[in-house]
Structure 1
Amino acid sequence: MKVYGARLSNSFSGVWELYVVTDEMSLHWPEHSFGRTDPIPTLQERADALAKLGYVLADDAGWQWQECPTGVTRRVPLLASANVRRKDGAA
């Protein structure tokens, strides 16, 4: 079963967005905007968004957080990632 990388980010437009990296060359990855800057989407909201996109967390997967510092006085963008698989089991 193929595993993909899901990303939850607030770094581009400031609102929380979830997207699934399906291949390295695409500019049209499946994506979902939560339409808000706060609060961080809950685990259930992330699971629901993934399901709408046709994905679920891979077995034993969890969200890993990373700060992306841009400077001492600027907002710190956050990025979370998790391994996901297609909901229907397709590759």
Structure 2
Amino acid sequence: MIHSWDGTEWQVFVALPDEPRWPHIPFATTDGVPTLHARTEALAALGYTPLDPAHTWDWMETPLEGDPEGVVALVATTTVTPTHPDTQDT
């Protein structure tokens, strides 16, 4: 989860390798930081569940590349698994 580039919303997303656009659910920043329950529901809507439901989200500050003001992004991460894993053999 991260603030959008323009700071108007939080975005709960799933980072997928080799995908140009990651699936995400937006939350208005005016509603405050999305709760754990809201984030879990957003992940479920995207087809994912936390790998370990008892695990808390990890929070970190990340400097925005090229920002002359030294602005940082607040990022929250957790590990997820698909809700309905593909059962086909590859």
Tell me which of the two structures has the higher relative contact order, counting C-alpha pairs closer than 8 angstroms and 6 or more residues apart.
Answer: 1
**Shorter-chain TM-score range:** 0.7 to 0.9
Q: What do residues 10-36 of structure 1 show as CA deviations (whole Å, max 9, x unaligned)? A: 15121100110121x211211111133
Alignment size in residue pairs? 82
Two-structure CA RMSD over aligned residues (Å): 2.3
- Please list every run of at least 4 consecutive aligned residues from structure 1 whose deviation after the TM superposition is greater than 6 angstroms: none
In structure 2, runs of 5+ residues without a counterpart are none
Q: Which residue of 2 aligns with 1:16?
A: 10
Runs of 5+ unmatched residues, structure 1: 1-7
Percent identity over the alignment is 34
- Checking the alignment, whether the CA contact within 8 Å between 1:67 and 1:77 is kept in structure 2 is yes
Structure label with greater radius of gyration? 2
- Relative to structure 1, the CA distance from residue 37 to residue 16 in structure 2 (aligned partners, 3 Å threshold; closer, same or farther) is farther
1:84 is aligned to 2:80: yes
Counterpart secondary structure, 2:34 = coil
User: Do structure 1's residue 56 and structure 2's residue 49 form an aligned pair?
Assistant: yes
